[in-house]
Amino acid sequence: NAGVMQNPRHLVRRRGQEARLRCSPMKGHSHVYWYRQLPEEGLKFMVYLQKENIIDESGMPKERFSAEFPKEGPSILRIQQVVRGDSAAYFCASSPDRVNYGYTFGSGTRLTVV
């Protein structure tokens, strides 16, 4: 039973390019959460999605960031026109239902903007 799968593991983008981060939840999990970890900091909540629905995007920057979790396929976190400050580790987690007692996190995507 594979865990939460994120790819790519490492992503390098030039300023102004787009970054697409993918997350496949654990089998049977329909709730996906994205968190961002800046260097030397804890994780910060970004967005919570269920299949085809964004439930809570209160932690997402209002511009350049978007997320989706389509009926088929992985969840995608998209960052347009990346800037140096977007360099961070982005973690995805999943759970089988909304009220969860501890997510399962993936290994993350480390985004570097040069």
Partner 1 sequence: QQQVKQSPQSLIVQKGGISIINCAYENTAFDYFPWYQQFPGKGPALLIAIRPDVSEKKEGRFTISFNKSAKQFSLHIMDSQPGDSATYFCAARTHDYKLSFGAGTTVTVRA
Rounded CA separation 60/21 (Å): 14
Q: Which stretch binds partner 1 (CB under 8 A): 13-21, 62-70, 80-88, 100-108?
A: 100-108
Residue 15 engages partner 1 in binding (rule: CB under 8 A) = no
Distance CA 108, CA 7 (A): 8
> Least distance in Å: CB of 73 to partner 1?
21
The two structure tokens encoding residue 72: 């088929």
69 binds partner 1 (CB under 8 A): no
CA count, 13 A, side-chain hemisphere, 65: 16
Q: Which stretch binds partner 1 (CB under 8 A): 12-20, 35-43, 64-72, 79-87?
A: 35-43
